[in-house]
């Protein structure tokens, strides 16, 4: 049940929801909370993209591109402890405090990197440390946000409103690189970290506002009864939840495999981009601020292209794809696209070709694939939305990166000495397995949803996302 709007605000909300129906199905009483979540997702991704080019600049200014793949190994190892700690905290405090403490910890880390730079720690050391840190931050913060969103909405609401909420992330992904590419030369790598910290503080404030509004709209709260959303989660850990559920395990394997494919593609592009930078500036520029800024600016442009594509997909295609083919069909769009892109690159790859292949892949990932992955958790239990989703979106993602590191190391060895085209061929084979897993998940989705529906008090069954379609929107 949703609290009705005041008479004064009702016409404005109705007009706004009418405009938003161009992109998804939304009711006037849902508009305010959905837009607050959209703004929050925008700030999270926008702030990340302010410092993502910094990651590339710090690392590639002093190290080779292959090191990016190898650093996934310590990230995956550290995530074992991070997820255990996250699960333990989630069992002790309500959701808004959980998100607050995790975000404050990340802010303190950004301040610490500035202190280490002022203390004279070399860029070769800070580049590695920051790369490891941001590879954990950029997964943990969005994962807890989508757990929060899954906890707020039921399945019917989520499949309608998630495309709108994810639109905020797509807008942030476009605005972040555009701004960072212009201000990195003025503020430098470490100044960008402090700017990001300020935006993260705003996300904490928004989380509290959304949490309070959601509780006030709860019918049980109105009756004076305790609200489940105010309570900490149970004691089960994220990894235990995954291995107890075939559905969650298939999702984990699918996401790990896709991240292997994506990371291998990023490694291919990074090698070509680094080679271009050295051709322009010369090898004597190794470790210099000039090389950091050149690479950082180049990656900002590349990321901006991918995010612009993602924004267009999010605006005009995601909600329609959900209605036309359901969640199961939506899962297959990206692997089919990747199969064509890497299949073409296997016969000859250039920097320009890889830039566009990766831009379309990343754009589809940030929009359609990310929204679909989040929607898969709408039918799961509350602790699975937070703990299992966080474990999947962190440890298993970095597990795919670790596998990529192994493949890059073997492929770069003298025995194999694979070219860029050879790595693209590996991705073609991997994408075929990815498609198989997506089909299995779509089938398991139906089974898992039927089981969840059978456990409800009234035995009712919600509409089937994997195959059943939403009603078509009427033109506004």
- What pLDDT score was predicted for residue 273? 83
- What pLDDT score was predicted for residue 38? 95
- What pLDDT score was predicted for residue 10? 61
CA 285 to chain centre: 34
Hey, where are the domains in the chain?
A: 27-454
CA dihedral for 242, 248, 254, 259, sign (positive or negative): negative
- What pLDDT score was predicted for residue 462? 40
* Interior/surface letters 331-355, b for 16+ CB within 10 angstroms, e for the rest: bbbbbebbbebbeebbeebebebbb
- What pLDDT score was predicted for residue 470? 39
- What pLDDT score was predicted for residue 130? 93
- What pLDDT score was predicted for residue 66? 73
Give 14-61 pLDDT, tens digit per residue: 666 666 766 777 888 888 999 999 999 999 999 998 998 888 788 877
- What pLDDT score was predicted for residue 446? 83
- What pLDDT score was predicted for residue 303? 77
Please report, to the nearest 10 degrees, the dihedral formed by the alpha carbons of residues 389, 392, 397, 399 taken in order.
160
Query: Are 462 and 156 within 8 A, CB to CB?
Result: yes
Run means of pLDDT, 10 residues per run, the chain, 476 residues = 51 66 77 94 94 84 77 87 89 92 95 93 90 90 92 87 89 85 85 94 97 82 56 77 93 96 90 81 67 75 83 87 87 94 88 89 91 91 90 91 88 78 94 96 84 55 38 36
CA 66 vs CA 59, 82, 92, 271, 370: distances in Å: 11, 25, 40, 8, 26
CA distance 148 to 32: 16
- What pLDDT score was predicted for residue 463? 39
Give 152-182 pLDDT, tens digit per residue: 998 888 888 998 998 898 888 888 888 887 8
Report the CATH fold assignment for 27-454: Growth Hormone; Chain: A; (1.20.1250)
CA distance 71 to 233: 32
């Amino acid at each position: 049940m949703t609290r009705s709007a005041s008479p004064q605000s009702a016409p404005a909300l109705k007009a706004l929801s009418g405009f938003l129906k161009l992109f998804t199905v939304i009711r006037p009483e849902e508009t305010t909370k959905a837009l607050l979540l959209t703004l929050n997702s925008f700030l999270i991704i926008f702030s990340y993209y302010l410092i993502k080019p910094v990651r590339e600049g710090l690392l590639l200014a002093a190290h080779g591109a292959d090191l990016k793949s190898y650093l996934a190994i310590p990230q995956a190892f550290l995530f074992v402890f991070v997820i255990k700690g996250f699960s333990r905290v989630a069992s002790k405090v309500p959701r808004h405090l959980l998100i607050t403490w995790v975000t404050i910890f990340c802010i303190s880390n950004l301040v610490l990197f500035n202190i280490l730079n002022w203390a004279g720690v070399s860029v070769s050391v800070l580049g590695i440390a920051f790369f490891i840190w941001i590879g954990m931050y950029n997964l943990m913060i969005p994962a807890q946000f989508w757990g929060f969103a899954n906890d707020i909405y039921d399945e019917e609401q989520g499949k309608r409103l998630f495309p709108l909420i994810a639109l905020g992330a797509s807008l942030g992904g476009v605005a972040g690189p555009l701004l960072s590419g212009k201000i990195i030369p003025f503020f430098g790598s470490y100044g960008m970290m402090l700017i990001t910290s300020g935006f993260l503080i705003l996300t904490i404030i928004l989380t509290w506002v959304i949490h309070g509004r959601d509780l006030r709209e709860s019918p049980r709260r109105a009756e004076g009864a305790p609200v489940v959303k105010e309570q900490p989660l149970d004691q089960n850990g994220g990894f235990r939840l995954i291995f107890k559920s075939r559905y969650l395990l298939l999702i984990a394997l699918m996401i790990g495999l896709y991240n292997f494919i994506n990371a291998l593609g990023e490694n291919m592009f990074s090698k070509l981009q680094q080679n271009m930078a050295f051709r322009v500036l010369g090898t004597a520029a190794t470790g210099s601020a000039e090389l950091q800024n050149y690479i950082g600016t180049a990656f900002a442009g590349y990321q901006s292209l991918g995010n612009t594509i993602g924004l267009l997909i999010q605006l005009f295609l995601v909600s329609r794809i959900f209605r036309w083919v359901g969640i199961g069909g939506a899962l297959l769009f990206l692997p089919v696209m990747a199969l064509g892109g890497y299949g073409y690159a296997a016969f000859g790859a250039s920097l320009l070709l890889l830039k566009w292949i990766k831009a379309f892949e990343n754009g589809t990932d940030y929009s359609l694939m990310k929204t679909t992955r989040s929607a898969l958790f709408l039918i799961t239990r509350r602790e699975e939305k937070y703990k299992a989703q966080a474990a999947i979106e962190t440890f298993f993602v970095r597990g795919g990166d670790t596998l990529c590191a192994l493949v890059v190391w073997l492929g770069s060895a003298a025995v194999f000495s694979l070219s860029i085209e050879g790595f693209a061929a590996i991705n073609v084979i991997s994408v075929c397995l990815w498609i198989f897993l997506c089909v299995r998940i779509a089938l398991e989705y139906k089974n898992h949803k039927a089981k969840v529906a059978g456990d409800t008090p009234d035995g009712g069954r919600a509409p089937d996302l994997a195959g059943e379609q939403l009603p078509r929107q009427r033109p506004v």
